[in-house]
Amino acid sequence: MKALDLVFRAVNTVCKYILIVLFSVMTITYFAQIVLRYAFGTGFTWTEELTRYCMVALIMFGAAVLAGQNGNINVSVLEASVPEHIKKWVGVGQQLITLVFFIVMVKVSVDYVMAAGTQITPNLRIPKAWVYSIFPVAFVVLVFNVIVWILKQFFSPKVKEA
């Protein structure tokens, strides 16, 4: 479990740095576009497209990091309405349903990458497969993080409250 936790922390640290870079790129390019447009009456043609792709990646990798903390949306009313000794099982059940969805989405997103073929984006002129590859990578991280969270529910030492 220690080795898995080490990999878990490393993967999520990399994801957090990716989030920082993506948000920085979005902020800088959009700021530059606004300054160029209003101060000089011109601008770049590619900033909106780059910002859109960064935002999609930001959402996907942000969701992946949240999955490792059980921070994604779930039906907490279920957990609140069951006895204490059943709460863990309800949470695990919710995460298992989420896990199945993420596994299906890995397959679907890989199919999208393959379908992109040799298409290129209109302004950045990069292969669309590169853009679409955000999804399978993020969904694999989501699957990994959910699996680790489920395993932690069973194998992590319990902290007793005073």
Digit-coded pLDDT (tens) for 49-94: 999 999 999 999 999 999 988 777 777 787 788 888 888 898 899 8
Look up residue 134 and give its amino acid: I
The region of weakest confidence among 64-68, 119-123, 133-137, 155-159 is 155-159
Task: Please check the confidence at residue 150 and state whether its pLDDT lies above 70.
Answer: yes
Angle at 77 between CA 71 and CA 78, to 5 degrees: 95
| Res. 160 pLDDT band, cuts 50 70 90 | low
| Res. 162 pLDDT band, cuts 50 70 90 | very low
Task: Please check the confidence at residue 159 and state whether its pLDDT lies above 80.
Answer: no
Task: Please check the confidence at residue 22 and state whether its pLDDT lies above 90.
Answer: yes
CA–CA separation, 32 vs 49, rounded Å? Answer: 14
The arithmetic mean of pLDDT across residues 97-123, rounded, is 95
- Average confidence score pLDDT of the chain: 91
Whether 145 and 67 have beta carbons less than 8 Å apart is answered as: yes
Give the pLDDT of residue 72. 74
The arithmetic mean of pLDDT across residues 94-107, rounded, is 95
SS3 of 127, please? strand
| Residue located via tokens 């960064």 | 54
| Res. 139 pLDDT band, cuts 50 70 90 | very high
Task: Please check the confidence at residue 33 and state whether its pLDDT lies above 70.
Answer: yes
pLDDT exceeding 90 applies to what percent of the chain? Answer: 73
Q: What is the value of pTM for the model shown?
A: 0.89
Output the six-digit token pair for 24: 């920085």
